[in-house]
């Protein structure tokens, strides 16, 4: 059995065991990676070389910062202020966060940055207004994905650079608008599937609204006013530094949280214990295993064999499927950088549209980022309260699986078959 076949079988076994038994998939993935690597003579250093340091720091840092904000009452006051602005228009909340999440990515921010800033507040607003937390998490994630292929965004730059290195180019507007339209369509489906129509009906006895349509003021955690102000300034500072100056948001969040915890130890409480270590282990373990497979060349081998398929249409569908499957549990930028060149031989046959294939591949590789194993989905799960986390994890797992299955097929039909 080759190293590539064994690696894929090992990944399938990890997911099967994790599905039927209550054990963290990340821990299983790390063990399987060690067994697989040892059998095929890989060093331990090679095995964990793909550990997602940036993702680890981002997940831990953001949940630490918002843990401080939650403990000292700042997060509750932020939600209280937003609730007063919203009033009884709760049907608009999902679309509001969808639009707000899209703006930073259209301006050049990565999806993870936009989701990290917005999802903790949005989830608490959802709880206040009795909106399904998975809906809000997915609306934030797919709203942020709307800007993935903006001319200012680095994700689009990866695709264009990979094409340029092979002497090819496509319209930036076509890629951006195709991705935007697809995610808006997904937003409509999310809204309908997770109870959006219920939000349009007035419910006078709803626990979060009074006769004036303003959210009822709840008892806020005690905390000195100066701590609230400093925490809010810290969150705004992290946002500005990450969005405007492209500084690492994870380390910024860690620094801000540690400083607040140091200056206000009493009101911050044990905020470090609110870091979502279970989610961090889950995501980092799975991503590290998949990264090891990438390093061993497994993804490239699969892509090369697909490119050799006689029918260009079938090969195009298979490449989109591989892009979706691998990106769901690995670095999206890495997958796009690896898969885009593999599409070039199909394009050179002249049987399918260059623009259509690249748009289909680009969308397939990014809409799956809502799975709990990708950055956007992992942030949504990690930012949830403990009692909501299992529900959000299951919903995002099912939704992500649906994206893995449907995105390659639908984008293939829309952008390749229909456009061809």
130-145 pLDDT, tens per residue? 999 999 999 999 999 9
pLDDT in tens, 13-37: 998 898 788 888 899 999 999 999 9
Mean per-residue pLDDT for 306-324?
86
Give the whole-angstrom CA distance, residue 400 versus residue 112.
16
Rounded to the nearest angstrom, the gap between the alpha carbon of residue 29 and the centroid of all alpha carbons in its chain is 20
The token pair at 62 is 């953001």
pLDDT band at 183 (very low <50, low <70, confident <90, very high): very high
Name the nearest CA neighbour of 381 among 71, 83, 12, 24: 24
pLDDT band at 202 (very low <50, low <70, confident <90, very high): low
pLDDT band at 206 (very low <50, low <70, confident <90, very high): low
Name the nearest CA neighbour of 127 among 395, 400, 398, 383: 383
> For residue 205, is pLDDT > 70?
no
Cα Rg of the chain, angstroms: 22
Cβ atoms 139, 317 nearer than 8 A: no
Give the whole-angstrom CA distance, residue 100 versus residue 197.
21
Cβ atoms 149, 155 nearer than 8 A: yes
CB burial of 221-246 (b: ≥16 within 10 Å; e: otherwise) equals eebeeebbebbeebbeebbebbbeee
Name the nearest CA neighbour of 132 among 141, 122, 146: 122
């Amino acid at each position: 059995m080759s190293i590539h076949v064994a690696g894929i079988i090992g990944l399938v076994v990890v997911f099967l065991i994790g599905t039927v038994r209550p054990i963290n998939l990340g821990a299983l993935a790390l063990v399987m990676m060690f067994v697989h690597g040892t059998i095929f003579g890989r060093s331990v250093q090679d095995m964990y070389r793909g550990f997602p340091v940036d993702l680890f720091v981002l997940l831990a840092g953001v949940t630490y910062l918002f843990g401080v904000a939650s403990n000292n009452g700042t997060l509750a006051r932020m939600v209280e202020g937003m609730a007063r602005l919203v009033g009884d228009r709760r049907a608009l909340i999902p679309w509001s966060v969808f639009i707000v999440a899209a703006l930073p990515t259209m301006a050049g921010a990565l999806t993870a940055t936009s989701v990290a800033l917005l999802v903790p507040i949005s989830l608490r607003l959802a709880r206040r207004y009795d909106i399904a937390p998975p809906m809000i998490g997915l609306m934030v994630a797919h709203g942020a994905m709307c800007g993935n292929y903006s001319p200012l965004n680095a994700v689009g730059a990866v695709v264009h650079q990979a094409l340029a290195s092979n002497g090819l180019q496509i319209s930036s507007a076509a890629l951006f608008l195709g991705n935007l339209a697809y995610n808006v369509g997904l937003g409509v489906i999310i809204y309908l599937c997770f109870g959006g129509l219920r939000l349009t009906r007035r419910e006078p006895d709803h626990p979060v609204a009074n006769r004036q349509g303003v959210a009822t003021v709840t008892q806020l955690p005690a905390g000195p006013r100066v701590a609230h102000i400093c925490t809010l300034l810290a969150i705004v500072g992290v946002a500005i530094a990450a969005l405007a100056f492209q500084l690492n948001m994870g380390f910024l969040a860690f620094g801000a949280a540690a400083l607040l915890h140091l200056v206000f130890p009493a009101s911050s409480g044990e905020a470090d214990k609110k870091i979502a270590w279970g989610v961090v282990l889950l995501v980092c373990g799975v991503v590290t295993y998949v990264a090891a497979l990438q390093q061993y060349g497994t993804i490239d081998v699969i892509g090369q064999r697909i490119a050799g398929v006689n029918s260009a249409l079938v090969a195009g569908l298979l490449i989109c499927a591989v892009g979706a499957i691998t990106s769901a549990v690995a670095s999206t930028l890495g997958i796009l950088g690896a898969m885009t060149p593999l599409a070039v031989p199909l394009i050179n046959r002249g049987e399918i549209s260059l623009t259509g294939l690249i748009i289909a591949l680009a969308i397939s590789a990014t809409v799956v980022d809502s799975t709990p194993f990708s950055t956007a989905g992992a942030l949504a799960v990690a930012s949830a309260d403990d009692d909501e986390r299992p529900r959000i994890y299951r919903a995002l797992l099912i939704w992500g699986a649906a994206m893995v299955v449907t995105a390659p097929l639908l984008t293939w039909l829309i952008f390749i078959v229909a456009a061809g």
